[in-house]
Structure 1
Amino acid sequence: MHGKKRAEYKAQAQNPKIAAALEGKAEQWYTLMKELQHRRDNSNNATTTETMDENFNESTSAATTTLMMTLKLLEKALLVNPDPLNLWNHRREVLLTMMSNDDNDDPSETTKIHNDKYDKILETERGLTQAALQRNPKSYGTWFHRKWILQTIKPVVVEAILKEELALTTLFLSLDERNFHCWNYRRFVVACMAGNWNGDWDVPIHKNATTTETTTMTSTNKLMGPQVLPSKGTGWDSSTILPETLTHTIPQALLRSEFEFTANKIKDNFSNFSAFHYRSQLLDFVVLSDDDDYDDQEDSLLQEFQLIEDAICTEPDDQTAWWYHAILLDKLDGKLSPSVKMKVAEQADLFRELLEDSPDGGKWISLGLLRVLTLLDSKTGDDSILEQQALLRRLMTIDPDRMGRYQTMINQIEKKVE
């Protein structure tokens, strides 16, 4: 466990009382696992038999009682240790069996009663996963189960529940701001709020007043929720997607709300890489979107540069803000307006000042200044070329592990000016 030394555990194991208590817990756990495996085996056998049984439709209260007891035992085990994936798999099997039995009930049963059953299941599973996450905030199985239960009972999930889920991720990230499971789950909830229960993000990008192109943003790992990346599947052509066929696009207001959320998390901690990462994926759809007014876009860009400068001046040696700065400059290449170009030039002066205060280091400052000078290269002349070469030679000294890379960059500059 984090923050604990191995010697402390060894010392505890040598204490007879503690060792006896641990042995007792291990025995209880073994007994519980054996009982659950026995129930799972019997359930599988019963399913095989009942499939061939003419009286399969004659449900019994005993079967329901058995399922409920199995759920209670699984809950007991998962609250102790939420990590074993086989326990979550077993629980989903039981839940699916119960929901299947509900579907086979008397058709005259009202829809309200049916929905109430599903609502109760949803409430129970949300409560269980929340308690399990308090036990282990990075339990893969727990996060997946919470996502699964929303996907499974989506017909009766109301908007209020999804808003609660989004609020819970906000609370959770205030306690554990870098938990990537929670960040991914938050993106999944945002997709669900737009009706995309598989976690995909469909975002309309307005290229001009007459045409609309839609980029499908899909998950690189759908297990935990979507990463906000354009789909690049073989043969995929965004021009073949008609806007009217995409009924579940992420609303622009929701995108802006998420963008503002990342700003708040970054201001809380400028080293929050997860927030910077999420923000970098939203840049094209909020700050650099072509459907924004020209003046609004410029104001947004200037605010981004100010956010970066605040982070850099607070901790110049933290690479997180420099990484985001590099992404923003890459997206602006060839798109510099006069006011933005002036801001970038001002940043060069700021970075020079920071570099003067770091006579023996300044790797990230040097790289940042180099990127700015490269972006402004066509307008700054020979003095910029000489400064770029000087920065690269400085980097060869303070970062010798990448000396070959820096020398290659120097050679490229020399070829360019020949």
Structure 2
Amino acid sequence: MHGRVKVRTVAEQAEAKKKEKEKKLQAYNAALEKIFEKRNNQILDEEGLKLSLEVLLANPDFYTLWNFRKDIFFSLKESRPTEELQKLYEEELHFIESCLRVNPKSYGTWDHRTFVMNNIPQADWKRELFLCNKFLEYDERNFHCWDYRRFVVKNSTNITIQDEFDFTTDKISSNFSNYSSWHYRSKLLPLLQPDPEQPAGVKEEALLKEFEIVQNAIFTDPDDQSAWFYHKWLLGRGEIKLDLLHVVIIRKSKRVVVNVTKPIHLVDTPYKIQLEVNGNTITDKWQNPFDTNLHSPVWIMLLPDGIMSTDDTMEISVKLLNDSETISSCLLTMKSSMKQASYHSTTVKPAAIFSSELTAAKSAILEQELQSIQELLELETENKWAILTVVQLMKSLDSIRYATEIKNNLEKLQSIDPKRERYYNDFGSKIVIENQIKTMDPLESMLQLNNLSLTAAYHMEYLLILQDLDVSHNHITNVKNFAYLQCLEVLNLDDNQLDNVDGLEFLPSIVSISLRRNFLANLEVLRPLQRCKTLVMLCLDGNPLFASSGMPHMFVCLSSIQMSIIPKNFP
């Protein structure tokens, strides 16, 4: 038996590992105890660097320790010469590399490297770019490294935009699925080939070349979403120009309502709305329809008592300002016999706002892309990305002309991608409402959107002057954005899927609301309607309302409302 190596049993090996683990844990905790003692006593020395180094090599995600090291470097900066600081920072960079090998996606580690490069006396940006290249070889989707790379490029004087653009080309050529490269490319292209007249901000020649590249990716791997997202970016999202769209003065509710082309905020921003009545500036507070501190395309001012009670004709001026510069203005005359006065822009059309969501400089580009994607669909008949892109292109080109094709494609998407059925339904609802708004008279006071299979009511902000709206026999579940309809008097919401009426309480002119055959389960959900002081008719037939202890109180609160309640019979 002499001379034979003794082999540990499984139990002995497990016990040895356990003891080793306990030993490391004790050392880890002891180091932490010393570190926090130093930190609490503000002892910022090189021993603290050494102690935290040992812990961070084991756990690079300990953000507090990275901050502790930053504090030490700030302290040493005041007492050490530049040469010594340079050496300390270089050692820190090597240490950070070791931590990144442990966890290449550590937030704290990449942030600390940024700190070091911002403070090192002589930064070697070329070496940092080389490091980024290496880590992106290991994981080309490491967005921490991509962010750091942008930081390096921004601070380096030797790296050109063209160099970085070529780098993305190489990465995409080796892997079409590299979403980070596509995204970085979208940031570089407007800088390399700028053209502010194009929606994507890129020269048309460069844009056409990019379409060729992305089409190669799409036809090579139609199921990969990275290239499809870049394709959508190339098509462009036009910038909506801020302008006045509607202005309405309502005598009964004593308010001025201003509708602009895109959401703005009037507090702590350069944007202002200036209101003058008969030459006198009114300085009362503007608020959005929801009375919240949020951006909004609709702003309301409640006029002081006495202004609307005059029998004289009123001259009302509204100006939209950017600082002191007038963006747009209008002048309204309101005679004593008028219930309301309104202004509608003759230069800004809702149709132009809708089309700006996805548009290229020339429709020929869109037509060309539509033809290409349709050719792909002949090969990939159930590719959801291709079908969705066709819908978006048709919407941008002419949503009315392509209405039937859009509807059929969205129905097909629901069948092949049922998990996103609600998204496709909502998208279809949005297009249907846009088409209705495009074809209606902008001064029309009545609109019928019934029996259109709507699941959501989009663009209510562009229907500011409506007085009568019928959205019955749809699948609407939310009416919060109905608050934009400040002139609305009659609303039909029969046969939808509402379980609450939140949003309707902000309608100052509402007289009649019909909510027959919805999912309103109790009278408590109707409590917001108590704020509707002008409401005289509320129809609730066919809702699963049930009696509760609060019902008598609710009836007292709503004593001015004629309620027709016929509860459904549920088993």
Tell me if TM exceeds 0.5: yes
Cα distance, 1:268 vs structure 2: 2.1
- Residue equivalent to 1:81: 59
> Residues 410, 374 of structure 1: CA spacing in aligned structure 2 closer, same or farther, 3 A cutoff?
closer
Determine the C-alpha separation between the residues in 2 that align with 1:144 and 1:94: 16
- Residue equivalent to 2:413: 395
> Residues 144, 133 of structure 1: CA spacing in aligned structure 2 closer, same or farther, 3 A cutoff?
same
Relative contact order, CA 8 A, sep 6+: which one is greater?
A: 1
Does the 8 Å CA contact 2:235/2:366 hold for their aligned counterparts? Answer: no
Cα distance, 1:121 vs structure 2: 1.8
Does the 8 Å CA contact 1:385/1:413 hold for their aligned counterparts? Answer: no
Residues 1:126 and 2:125 are matched in the alignment: no
Cα distance, 1:289 vs structure 2: 3.2
Determine the C-alpha separation between the residues in 2 that align with 1:343 and 1:291: 15
Cα distance, 1:266 vs structure 2: 2.0
Equivalent of residue 383 in structure 2, options 362, 378, 400? 362
Determine the C-alpha separation between the residues in 1 that align with 2:374 and 2:152: 43
Determine the C-alpha separation between the residues in 1 that align with 2:429 and 2:151: 42
Determine the C-alpha separation between the residues in 2 that align with 1:18 and 1:357: 58
Cα distance, 1:37 vs structure 2: 2.6
Does the 8 Å CA contact 2:373/2:390 hold for their aligned counterparts? Answer: yes
Determine the C-alpha separation between the residues in 1 that align with 2:435 and 2:47: 75
1:213-232 alignment, distance < 5 Å? none
Look up the SS of the partner of 2:160 in the other structure: helix
Cα distance, 1:146 vs structure 2: 0.8
Does the 8 Å CA contact 2:57/2:98 hold for their aligned counterparts? Answer: yes
Equivalent of residue 373 in structure 2, options 339, 345, 351? 351
Cα distance, 1:163 vs structure 2: 1.8
Equivalent of residue 100 in structure 1, options 57, 60, 78? 78
Determine the C-alpha separation between the residues in 2 that align with 1:412 and 1:275: 37
Residues 1:168 and 2:131 are matched in the alignment: yes
Cα distance, 1:123 vs structure 2: 0.8
- Which stretch has the larger CA shift, 319-328 or 296-305? 296-305
> Residues 352, 298 of structure 1: CA spacing in aligned structure 2 closer, same or farther, 3 A cutoff?
same
- Residue equivalent to 1:223: none
TM-score (norm 1): 0.64
1:257-268 alignment, distance < 5 Å? 257-268=163-174
Cα distance, 1:115 vs structure 2: 2.9
- Residue equivalent to 2:361: 336
Cα distance, 1:417 vs structure 2: 6.8
Which 5+ residue runs of structure 2 have no aligned equivalent?
1-9, 239-357, 441-571
Determine the C-alpha separation between the residues in 2 that align with 1:117 and 1:146: 18
Cα distance, 1:286 vs structure 2: 2.4
- Residue equivalent to 2:529: none
Q: What residue identity is the alignment partner of 2:130?
A: A
- Residue equivalent to 1:138: 105
1:145-160 alignment, distance < 5 Å? 145-153=112-120, 156-158=121-123
Determine the C-alpha separation between the residues in 1 that align with 2:229 and 2:149: 23
Q: What residue identity is the alignment partner of 1:336?
A: A
Equivalent of residue 228 in structure 2, options 302, 305, 322? 322
1:1-150 alignment, distance < 5 Å? 15-44=14-43, 67-102=45-80, 114-150=81-117
Q: What residue identity is the alignment partner of 2:53?
A: E
Give the structure with the higher percent strand.
2
Deviations 1:197-249 (A, max 9, x none): xxxxxxxxxxxxxxxxxxxxxxxxxxxxxxxxxxxxxxxxxxxxxxxxxxxxx
Cα distance, 1:407 vs structure 2: 3.4
Q: What residue identity is the alignment partner of 1:136?
A: N
Deviations 1:35-84 (A, max 9, x none): 2233334444xx8xxxxxxxxxxxxxxxxxxx333322222222222111
Q: What residue identity is the alignment partner of 2:223?
A: D
Determine the C-alpha separation between the residues in 2 that align with 1:404 and 1:297: 35
TM-score (norm 2): 0.48
- Residue equivalent to 1:279: 185
Cα distance, 1:86 vs structure 2: 2.0
Does the 8 Å CA contact 1:396/1:406 hold for their aligned counterparts? Answer: no
Q: What residue identity is the alignment partner of 1:95?
A: F
Deviations 1:365-384 (A, max 9, x none): 10112223334439xx94x4
Determine the C-alpha separation between the residues in 2 that align with 1:135 and 1:326: 37
User: Size of the alignment, in residue pairs?
Assistant: 304
Cα distance, 1:336 vs structure 2: 3.1
Give the structure with the higher percent helix.
1
Look up the SS of the partner of 1:125 in the other structure: helix
> Residues 407, 272 of structure 1: CA spacing in aligned structure 2 closer, same or farther, 3 A cutoff?
same
Q: What residue identity is the alignment partner of 2:52?
A: L
Cα distance, 1:118 vs structure 2: 2.4
> Residues 39, 350 of structure 1: CA spacing in aligned structure 2 closer, same or farther, 3 A cutoff?
same
> Residues 36, 396 of structure 1: CA spacing in aligned structure 2 closer, same or farther, 3 A cutoff?
closer
Does the 8 Å CA contact 1:351/1:365 hold for their aligned counterparts? Answer: yes
Cα distance, 1:127 vs structure 2: 0.6
Q: What residue identity is the alignment partner of 1:78?
A: L
Which 5+ residue runs of structure 1 have no aligned equivalent?
1-10, 48-66, 103-113, 195-250
Does the 8 Å CA contact 1:329/1:375 hold for their aligned counterparts? Answer: no
Determine the C-alpha separation between the residues in 2 that align with 1:405 and 1:283: 33
4+ long deviations beyond 4 Å:
331-335, 341-344
Determine the C-alpha separation between the residues in 2 that align with 1:39 and 1:407: 62
Does the 8 Å CA contact 1:39/1:70 hold for their aligned counterparts? Answer: yes
Look up the SS of the partner of 2:60 in the other structure: coil
> Residues 142, 377 of structure 1: CA spacing in aligned structure 2 closer, same or farther, 3 A cutoff?
same
1:228-239 alignment, distance < 5 Å? none
Cα distance, 1:291 vs structure 2: 11
> Residues 24, 173 of structure 1: CA spacing in aligned structure 2 closer, same or farther, 3 A cutoff?
same
Determine the C-alpha separation between the residues in 1 that align with 2:429 and 2:194: 32
Determine the C-alpha separation between the residues in 2 that align with 1:36 and 1:362: 56
- Residue equivalent to 2:204: 298
Cα distance, 1:290 vs structure 2: 5.1
Cα distance, 1:342 vs structure 2: 4.9
